[in-house]
Structure 1
């Protein structure tokens, strides 16, 4: 590979790009990675990590409210948005530093500027310099999608929401996917008036319908307002800094912030992939084969930019498989079956495998076991919210096809249970396991 400046040049230092870089370097490759912002990608910088910290912070409102029945009293408790915000941003900086050290310790060169594909083996940097590589890996991730409407420039996305100067008293959130509902829960718990606006009447498309309905009921009871079948028409800024949000068929809403969370798109604009003969799909994603290779033999892509499964752990596995395949002599692919996922709404929900609807369409003959219960903590705190667990099984074998749950700590419980689903265990295997009492997790082996 002496004919090239690098064995591998990675565009994008998110989770997938960092994993691919360090593993390729560990296999002996000379590696460089270009990143125009911070190292760590969406998850670490402006996604799941800082958002989860905001979830933790906002949940104390519920915990303080429930504490009275547990014998605790708090006088003059108050919340400081700036303090939480700054702690979160400081932790982002800490993680960015750890990612940088990881690359440095593996001998990966960091180039902190934008890069684009010039040809099959050439990358052009923002400063005009061109470098060559035997292989190029594109791992630039996704970017928030904002529909076109008048006044869209007044709205913020999940990129900017972590940097708000102050907590809005009224916030309108466009969209009803996981990003929208996670932030709806955060702001609602912190005392904001939250209105969720969606073009359709479906929230969390792709998740089990029973869990979606339960989340809708609970969040409405907590004060979140929903406006369905209401596309945005325009957003106008008032002289006092507030906004008038005009919706189709509705009276205007007044908000202090408007958050657009209508999905994410692969960040492929201006990457120059056409210079290597690579055509994007209709959604702007990079088509790849099972080994993450594009139509150009020397260019690969991993993570959200391929629009396979937009989850950080999946991008990491794709980056690992790429490096092992190309530089480690171990052809590796990623198994996309039974990938667990969660929504850190309040309460959270999580699932793995097929939903009830998917299982019926695929297998026809199935049986659904469930447990609809009020968690002990909620009973004692006099909170009426109920958890719901569902086990979707094939008949007559009893093989577990899917597991879905909503309730406190659902994501923490699901991770271990997902191993059983991935392993192809049956309802009989669950039944044969002694319950861990008293716990919410014991409902997994008690469902009827």
Structure 2
């Protein structure tokens, strides 16, 4: 496999806050449909710095090798991006859409399609309600909208109460999650999910759904795990998006009821998580190794400059001054590669460091964690209690710099890294050659 163009640049990091602000508004309610009415993913497109062989759909459909597989994508979202619920919901929805469309039972007719006209009507109604509520707010209270200081219903502020007291999560108590703080499983039967989902419908101000619709029990679990407030895998949805989804789900269990949510999640994965994952995967060393490489690059550059100055001031012949080019070229290339997250030594072997969460986990434990992360309905994605966190923090810097390595199997990723290495070498030859030429051209000092 050849190189990427020498003008190649890595995907830019997409900040979550900036993406949320740019993606908010009407776009979150726009639709993307197939002719049969089912919701489809957005166009994958060609993000800057991401080759077609590492496209989002390619990764999701299993067309890539480690460390660029959907499993690697999931672990990245858990441990780095902290947004694994987006991919978990995405994978569940794709599977649900397929199962629903393949269902050949009479009750499927009880779940009609949630059309675009119905979606538009629901969105317009929600926006009108929001505008009316803002107008009814007493003057000066708008700044507290959406905060803990906002008055809820007929609640009254009690004089002398602590304004910074954290209110209870909700009236439904600990039953919102399958796991309590001690990770002990609580009731997860159908009636429990139905009760919690009913409370969610009531909180959203929409009617209770028909329980005889197909897949209603599964939809209740989705609401409890992903949509309602304080859900263990609560999606990052705006209040209008959440209410629009609850309104749609109160009418039908058809996959198109998720059109608004799915578009938001799909866009987030493609436009933010995926480019960030590719950018992060290009780095073949851990932070300690990359810092060491940068320090080594700066050190070699300083050595080259000092050597060039000494030889220029000495009585040595001009040809000896060219020796500084060795340290300058090595230093600049190492520094440029390290600036892009790469260690040239690891790259020479096409290796990468083992990730911290992979170091202290045996194969059986790793398989268990992977299975849990791909389960549609499980506990939250918190990992702070995992043993490797403390163990890795206690690991000394030298061991981190020389952590275990593994071969990079994905050809496209190696191609990107090869291109970055060539760019670093060309930059070092150019700037190192210029500095060396200056040393050679300057008249000798003949001081010693």
Larger proportion of helix: 2
TM category (shorter chain) comes to under 0.3
Larger proportion of strand: 1
Which structure is richer in relative contact order (CA contacts within 8 A, separation 6 or more)? Answer: 2
